[in-house]
Structure formats: structure tokens, C-alpha cells
Structure 1
Amino acid sequence: MGRRRAFDEDEVVRAAVGLFAGRAFDGVSVDDLVTHLGVHRNSLYKTFGSKRGLYLAALRRHLAEDVHPLVCALAAAADAATALRLVTSADLGLLLLAAVERAPADEEVAAEVTAALASVDQAIAGALGIPADLAAALTAAALGVVLRGNPDGVGTALTRRLDPLH
């Protein structure tokens, strides 16, 4: 009979979300994981299979705990300005890093990212009663604002231009 696990898998995955969101997949070594998560190398491999396995668990956790609640809130958005504010104020760091760093090289990550962004688009389209392509453009605009580091700027010119939608 094997030894009992000396760590809480849930806590490790949650901590890994922060580590990968702050430094990206390629910026985190297995030694970093061992040091920052307090998990022995053998336990990490036994539980998650690899660094990639832990990354996928962390990405899925991020999608469940950060992106899914955003989608639920977006489904109830009253107008474009509210939808934009919701997207720009959400914690989407790991999703955005996954989209640019891992998705081009990893089909499984690409599928997770694509599904998450599609759910954001669908929630916006449904809430605002607009076509899917316009909802995707709103999502892209909001994410662009986040990437440029100006989420407060959404409340000005962009939302004024979108107000005629309602």
C-alpha cells in the first residue's frame, strides 16, 4: 500500500494557477513548481503526470473559477457598457497567456481557450440580442483593452460608441 498524499491537490492546483498566470508555462520550471508549491517532484509527477498535466489542471481550474462566473454575469448584462466592464474587470490572466503562449503549440490548450472564448461571445450575444460576429468583436475589443493595460478606459469612448446598440 502506498503512502498517503502529503499535500492537498486542490490547494496545489489553485497555487499553480497563480504561478502560471504570473510567469506563463515556459517561465515556470519543474524546480519552480516544487519550490513554490511545496510538492516533491515525485509526487507532482505521480499526481499530474507532468508539468503540462499540472498546467492543464490549473487552466481548467481558472476557466471554472474565473471564466465561468464571468460568462454567467455576462448572460445577465443589460448593455454593452456593462458587458465590457465585466470582461475588463475579470481575472483572465491565465486564459490570455494560454491563448498566446500555449494554444498555438498545444491542441488541448487551444480547444480549452477556444471553448472559453466562444462561451464569452455567446453570453454577450444572448444578453444583448446581437449577432455572434458582433459579440465576438466586443469580446475582442474588451480583451484588447485588458492587454493594453487600460481597463478603466472602457468606460469612456468605446462604451459611448456602443451605446446605440441599446
Structure 2
Amino acid sequence: MGRRRAFDEDEVVRAAVELFGGRAYDGVSVDDLVTHLGVHRNSLYKTFGSKRGLYLVALRRHVADDVRPLTEALAAATDAATALRLVASANLGLLLLAAVERAPADEEVSAEVDAALAALDQAIADALGISAELAAALTAAALGLRLRGNPGGARTALAHRLDPLD
């Protein structure tokens, strides 16, 4: 009979989301995971299989805990400025890092990122009654603003130009 786990898997995954979201996959070593998550190396491998296995679990958790609630909030958006503000201010660090770092090299990560971005696009299209193409452009603009850390004034100006009702 195996020993009971000495750690809370849910807490470890949440902490991994923060760690990978702040430092990216390549910026986190297995030693970093062991140190920051408080999990023994053997336990980490037994539970998640590998660093990549933990990363995929963390990415999926990030989508469930951060991206899905954002899509629900976007459903209530009544204008492009609100949608931009919601996306640009959301906690999407791990998703953005995954999109630029891992998705080009890892098909599973790419599929997760593509699905999350498609969900954002769809939520914006449905909420604002706009085409999928315009919604994707709005999502891209909001994520670009998020990456640049641009303050609200620029978000509002951009939203005004993209708002199909203006």
C-alpha cells in the first residue's frame, strides 16, 4: 500500500500556475518547482509525470479559473470599451506566455491556447453582436494592450475606434 500524499494537489497546481505565469516554462526548473511548491521531486514526478505534465495541468487550471470566468464576464459587456477593459486587466499571464513560448513547439499547449482564445473571441462576438473577425481583432488588441501594460486611456481610445456602434 502506498503512502498518502503529503501535499494538497490543488494547492500545488495553483502555485504552479503562478510560478509558470510569472516566469514561463523555460524560466522554471524542476528545482524551482520543488523549492517553490514544497513538493519532493519524486512526488512531483509520481503525481504529474514530468515538469511538462505539471505545466499542462497548470495551464488547464488557469483556463478554468481565469479564462472561463473572463468569458462569462464578457457576456455582460455592452460595448467594446468594456470588453477591452475586461480582457486587458484580466489575469492572463500564463495564457500569454504559453501562446508565445510553448504553443509554437507543443501541440497540446497550442490546442489549449487556441481553445482559450477562441472562447474569448466568441464571448466578445456574442456580447457585442459583432462578427467573429472583428471579435478576434478586439481580443488581439486587448491582449496587445495587456502585454504592453498600457493604461486605461489608450484602451478607451482604441475601443472607441473599434466599436461598431460608433
Q: Which TM-score band applies after superposition, normalised by the shorter structure?
A: over 0.9
Distance across 2 between alignment mates of 1:149 and 1:108: 28
Distance across 2 between alignment mates of 1:54 and 1:33: 10
Distance across 2 between alignment mates of 1:150 and 1:114: 24
Indicate the residue corresponding to 1:52 in structure 2.
Answer: 52
Q: Give the AA of the match of 2:145.
A: V
Structure 1 regions of 5+ residues with no counterpart? none
Q: Contact 2:20–2:28 (CA<8 Å) still a contact in 1?
A: yes
Q: Contact 1:142–1:154 (CA<8 Å) still a contact in 2?
A: no
Distance across 1 between alignment mates of 2:164 and 2:108: 39
Render the CA deviation track for 1:52-86: whole Å, top value 9, x for unaligned.
00001110110000000000111121111111111
Q: Give the AA of the match of 2:10.
A: D
Distance across 2 between alignment mates of 1:100 and 1:155: 22
Indicate the residue corresponding to 1:87 in structure 2.
Answer: 87
Indicate the residue corresponding to 2:30 in structure 1.
Answer: 30
Q: TM-score scaled by structure 1?
A: 0.96
Distance across 1 between alignment mates of 2:129 and 2:154: 21
Give the aligned CA root-mean-square deviation in angstroms: 1.1
Distance across 2 between alignment mates of 1:109 and 1:151: 30
1:138 aligns with 2:138: yes
Distance across 2 between alignment mates of 1:50 and 1:139: 32
1:148 aligns with 2:148: yes
The DSSP-based 3-state class of the residue aligned with 1:146 is: helix
Q: Give the AA of the match of 1:81.
A: A
Indicate the residue corresponding to 1:97 in structure 2.
Answer: 97
Q: Contact 2:16–2:37 (CA<8 Å) still a contact in 1?
A: yes
Q: 1:22 to 1:93 in 2, by over 3 A?
A: same
Distance across 2 between alignment mates of 1:156 and 1:84: 8
- Matched pairs, number: 166
Structure 2 regions of 5+ residues with no counterpart? none
Distance across 2 between alignment mates of 1:121 and 1:162: 14
Q: TM-score scaled by structure 2?
A: 0.96
Distance across 1 between alignment mates of 2:96 and 2:151: 15
The DSSP-based 3-state class of the residue aligned with 1:156 is: helix
Matched-pair identity in %: 84
Distance across 1 between alignment mates of 2:31 and 2:70: 33
The DSSP-based 3-state class of the residue aligned with 1:165 is: coil
Report deviation, 1:152. 1.9
1:129 aligns with 2:129: yes
Distance across 2 between alignment mates of 1:162 and 1:46: 49
